[in-house]
Amino acid sequence: MTDTIVELKNIRYAYEDKIALKDVNLSIPRGAFLGLVGPNGGGKTTLIKLLLGVLTPQHGSIELFGTPANKFKDWQKIGFVSQKANAFNRGFPATVKEVVATGLTAQIGYLKFFTKKHREKVKEAIELVGMSEYINQNIGDLSGGQQQRIFIARALVSEPEFLILDEPTVGIDTENVQKFYELLGKLNHEKKITLLLVSHDIGTMTSHANGVACLNKEIHFHGDTEAFHNLSEQRISSFYGHDLNIVTHNH
Ligand SMILES: Nc1ncnc2c1ncn2[C@@H]1O[C@H](COP(=O)(O)OP(=O)(O)OP(=O)(O)O)[C@@H](O)[C@H]1O
């Protein structure tokens, strides 16, 4: 079992002649809870797409679980939760358990028979995110924060070892954001899931994650949250390219 989940070396990615990433080196060890921050257009989504195998770099190498990305087959080890933007609308005709079960499709194929074991896994994932009492409700009737928990359950049902979350708390109220981070902490500590979280809310993220990487085409900083807090505001603003007001939260 390798202790490095992601190893990016000298990555370059350009959309035609527009460089999105250059010389990106990043190593994510097993057990990390890494926050990825950076300005709009800094390349965060591009980096995630490279990790998910959606894009291929023009230069450099990517290893996932110690295997070159182009030979990597264990995609069920990697879960992905995107922004709440693709939330379900009121009246969407699927229950919580049906939505979570779609997270198993890659494993068992479309329209294949769900065994008792699969149903158990769905139940467990819903339990893990604290949503058991909503299991038979329509997903469209839940609040944004509750729906986001269900998206996490859908990603967790295939038991990933590495979970990537792209701004999962956009549009969720403060109290639920707090609960959401508590859930992520639990997944990291108790389930030993390695987490990569893209967030614009640096203050909240750094009070829960244990590492931070700052990306603006290049990785400008990668270290633990304490080292990040010790960076001068001026240095942080310089790789953002504008002044930044970071609100820190003490929990
Ligand atoms: N499909 C595309 N075609 C051309 N340029 C693109 C494409 N996708 C992204 N870009 C450009 O690549 C750069 C990096 O974009 P990316 O979406 O990776 O940044 P981001 O950090 O995720 O931004 P945000 O925080 O706004 O989501 C930007 O300049 C963007 O305009």
**Residue 100 pLDDT grade (very low, low, confident, very high; cuts 50, 70, 90):** very high
Contact (Cβ atoms closer than 8 angstroms) between residue 33 and residue 224: no
Whether the CB of 199 sits within 6 Å of ligand 1: no
What letters, b where the CB count within 10 A reaches 16 and e where it falls short, cover 127-154? Answer: ebbebeebbeebbeebeebbbbbbbbbb
For the chain, the domains span 4-240
Q: What is the mean pLDDT of residues 17-37?
A: 96
Query: What local confidence, expressed as pLDDT, does residue 110 receive?
Result: 56
pLDDT in tens, 189-231: 999 999 999 988 888 888 899 999 999 999 999 999 999 988 8
117, 164 in Cβ contact below 8 A?
A: no
Nearest CA to ligand 1 atom 2: 15
Query: Of 15, 19, 164, 198, which is best to mutate to test ligand 1, by the most ligand atoms within 8 angstroms of its C-beta?
Result: 15
Tracing tokens 């942080």 back to the chain, one arrives at: 236
Number of neighbours of residue 114 by Cβ within 10 angstroms? 12
Q: Does ligand 1 come within 6 angstroms of the Cβ of 17? A: no
Number of other CB atoms surrounding residue 38 within 10 Å: 22
Q: Give the pLDDT score at 229.
A: 87
pLDDT for the residue numbered 93: 80
In this structure, what token pair is assigned to residue 40?
A: 């709009």
Q: What is the per-residue pLDDT for 86?
A: 55
The pLDDT value given to residue 32:
97
**pLDDT of 49 over the 60 cut:** yes
pLDDT mean over 162-171: 86
- Whether 217 is in the pocket of ligand 1, judged by its Cβ within 6 Å, is no
What sign does the dihedral 166-189-30-108 (CA atoms) show? negative
- Greater confidence, 51 or 178? 51
pLDDT of residue 239: 79
Residue with tokens 């992601």: 6
Q: Is the pLDDT of residue 161 over 90?
A: yes
Alpha helices in 160-210 (DSSP H): 174-189, 202-206
Backbone phi and psi for residue 221, each to the nearest 5 degrees, phi listed first: -155, 140
Burial of 74-84, coded b for 16+ CB within 10 Å and e otherwise, reads: eeebbbbbbbb
The whole-number average pLDDT for the span 41-58 is: 95
Cβ–Cβ < 8 Å for 50, 92: no
Whether 63 and 213 have beta carbons less than 8 Å apart is answered as: no
pLDDT at residue 88 is higher than 80: no
**pLDDT at residue 250 in the model:** 52
What pLDDT is attached to residue 243?
A: 62
Please state which CATH number belongs to domain 4-240.
3.40.50.300
Full-model pTM: 0.89
Q: Is the distance from the beta carbon of residue 178 to the nearest atom of ligand 1 less than 6 Å? A: no
> What pLDDT is stored for residue 238 in this prediction?
80
ipTM over 0.95: yes
Pairing of strands 33-37, 211-216: parallel
Share the mean pLDDT of the chain.
Answer: 87
Residue type for 59, please? H
**Contact by Cβ (8 Å): 33, 8:** no
Least confident of 1-15, 103-117, 152-166: 103-117
